[in-house]
Chains A and B, each alone.
Chain A
Amino acid sequence: MGMTMTQKILAAHAGLDHVEAGQLIEADLDLVLGNDITSPVAIHEMDKMTVKTVFDKDKIALVMDHFIPNKDIKSAEHCKCVREFACRHDITNYFDVGEMGIEHALLPEKGLTVAGDVIIGADSHTCTYGALGAFSTGVGSTDMAAGMATGKAWFKVPSAIKFNIVGKPKKWVSGKDVILHIIGMIGVDGALYKSMEFVGEGIKNLSMDDRFTIANMAIEAGGKNGIFPVDELTEAYMKEHSRRPYKVYEADEDAVYDAEYTIDLGALEPTIAFPHLPENTKTISEITEDVVVDQSVIGSCTNGRIDDLRTAAAILKGRKVRKGVRCIVIPATQAVYLQAMEEGLLKIFIEAGAVVSTPTCGPCLGGYMGILAAGERCISTTNRNFVGRMGHVDSEVYLASPAVAAASAVTGKISAPEELGL
């Protein structure tokens, strides 16, 4: 029986010629990631271990991004704990204020993740690096601790769902619409324990930033990982950002999939996930009543990259955020921030009446920088719209692309860019 892309990567890292779905393996890790919320718990667990040193100081990434710059004293204590740990173990890839960005945008940009890697991260959106043809998955803090100490992690080899991507997306349809459409189709546990493998000729019509967005939200369908094949665009991205060697794995022709779907990019419309699950999707044309919004958030590990900001700026240019709407734009990394500045995007945002923040996960998880009051609604390019996700339990989050979030900021209700004549 042939293997999927994911299975091949896992087999190679377990020193095995062949693995099958359901098999328990121990795999070597290329990178172990943690952030300011999950790392303190991992450090505490590592303190209980007999192994007192990290397996490889170059293969651990600690990114302070969730409540950073410190939102309160407790957050400051957490970061201090991680900072001291990084210093004690001479961790090469420790990113603090000034260097940090939102982890899943930052690591590929820094060249720390490449095709063929096995990566675990104590953050559920670690699945993002599948866009580069890596196996990457979210774990908890104890797994992170074990990974930092041993350089290994146990996995149950996943089966896979194949998504055959065809066609070319229409204007204003992006990676976010693709993944929201898929989650709406298969549900929030539609890929539970499984790989989501994206293949097909349509992939060439998706930018790297689109692919990062799609892989990023595999977890919102319950997936263990999302993964793309490596093409010229991927190779160009890796060569630009990384000096690490990469390895390309392709699925065998006789690989077995639990299910196969065809996604025609040309048939997709801007798609919005209504409260309180990412699977509650509607296309923009299915929304028949006005959904008035109080806030629009453009950013996060899902949609805070330069493509996303360019799209939002194209819509906000020469327009004004509607009175009564708070529009919060958060470049995902310092490099994205700088690029946006050089391209004049920040000026467009500020002139439109949006605020531009330093990189942070803040509002996405209801941490800070845009918390909602009871009864308030936010259109957001983030990844979750659970009850209370962005603030009060009686607030609402609607997930959408940067194009829809920007257009909605202007109209004050959930809108497609076409409503602005674009």
Chain B
Amino acid sequence: MQAKGRVFKYGDNVDTDVIIPARYLNSSDPAELATHCMEDIDKDFVHKVHKGDIIVADKNFGCGSSREHAPIAIKAAGVSCVIAETFARIFYRNAINIGLPIIECAEASRGIDGGDELDAAFHSGMIYNRTKGTEFKGQAFPEFMQKIIQAGGLVNYINSQN
């Protein structure tokens, strides 16, 4: 899986409340959730994001609530990949389970700015910053998680096991 897009850059501890505020959790429709994605941290995000764009953040991305609506909103907004120094553990699990590509890479989060153009290869964890001409290697996923990702998420993986 290859991601190619422009970067939206955020800092530490981007929590699930700012990714998708609870006032919108009376819906579980991905398209509707996408219209409020990142609303409380970046009001312009939904107007500026293009299909394929990439979110890059510092540490503990997705902390807070277990709401799967957060990775769902990001994916439905067209984001192809999220790169962060670290992810909060429930967000990490949820992203894998729903098939939202994520890469953990501290160097990348430090060496990438908002507006940079990236190429990211999800399977290898390689990230190329086309704007700056720099390259980063993210954390590879354990084999078990690769299988879930390759199946297209946990539901497909379980279906394939039965």
Report which A residues bind B (CB closer than 8 A).
24, 37-38, 40-41, 44-45, 48-51, 66-67, 71-72, 74-75, 78, 121-124, 126, 138-143, 145-146, 149-150, 154, 156, 188-189, 192-193, 219, 222, 224, 277, 365-367, 384, 386-389, 393
Contacts and interface: CB of A to CB of B under 8 A. Distances in A.
Interface of B: 13, 15, 17-18, 21-23, 25-28, 40-41, 59-60, 63-69, 71-72, 86, 88-90, 93-94, 97-98, 142, 144, 153-155, 158-159, 162
Contacts of B155: 45, 48-49, 142, 145-146
Given A139-B93, A189-B59, A365 B65 contact: yes
A365 B22 contact: yes
A367 B22 contact: yes
A146 B154 contact: yes
A189 B41 contact: no
Nearest to A391: B23
Contacts of A49: 155, 158-159
B18 A189 contact: no
Given A74-B26, A366-B17, A393-B40, A143 B162 contact: no
Contact of A78 (B26, B64, B71, B94): B26
Given A75-B26, A145-B155, A222 B63 contact: yes
A267 to B, nearest CB: 28
A124 B65 contact: yes
Nearest to A73: B26
Nearest to B32: A74
Contacts of B13: 188-189, 277
Contacts of A139: 66, 90, 93-94
Contacts of A146: 97, 154-155, 158
A78 B153 CA distance: 24
Contacts of B142: 24, 156
Given A139-B93, A365-B17, A192 B86 contact: yes
A40 B72 CA distance: 14
Contacts of A219: 90
A126 B27 CA distance: 22
Contacts, number: 136
Contacts of B27: 74
Given A124-B90, A140-B71, A367-B23, 13 more contacts: A41-B68, A49-B155, A74-B26, A140-B94, A142-B155, A143-B94, A143-B97, A146-B97, A146-B158, A154-B144, A192-B89, A386-B17, A389-B17
Contacts of A121: 66
Contacts of A393: 40
Nearest to B23: A366
A139 B67 CA distance: 8
A156 B28 CA distance: 28
A387 B154 contact: no
A189 B23 contact: no
Q: Which 10 A-B pairs have the closest CB atoms?
A: A140-B94, A74-B26, A140-B68, A142-B97, A365-B22, A189-B60, A388-B40, A124-B66, A141-B68, A138-B66
B89 A224 contact: yes
Contact of A387 (B41, B88, B98): B41
A140 B18 contact: no
A365 B70 CA distance: 14
A50 B156 CA distance: 9
Contact of A189 (B28, B63, B68, B72): B63
Contacts of B93: 139-140, 143
A122 B97 CA distance: 13
Contacts of A150: 158
Contacts of B26: 67, 71-72, 74-75, 78
A74 B155 CA distance: 26
A241 B35 CA distance: 45
A126 B86 CA distance: 22
Contacts of A71: 26
A374 to B, nearest CB: 13
A149 B65 CA distance: 23
14 contacts: A38-B67, A48-B155, A51-B158, A51-B162, A140-B90, A140-B97, A141-B94, A143-B94, A189-B88, A192-B60, A192-B89, A277-B13, A366-B23, A388-B17
A50 to B, nearest CB: 5
A387 B28 contact: no
Contacts of B41: 387
B162 A50 contact: yes
A192 B107 CA distance: 19
Contact of B68 (A38, A78, A365): A38
Contact of B28 (A72, A78, A143, A192): A78
The CB with the most chain A CB atoms within 10 A, among B25, B93, B98, B162, is that of B25
A138 to B, nearest CB: 4
B25 A138 contact: no
A366 B27 CA distance: 15
A88 B59 CA distance: 43
B88 A222 contact: yes
Contacts of B25: 37, 66-67, 365, 367
A143 B63 contact: no
A388 B18 contact: yes
Contacts of B71: 140
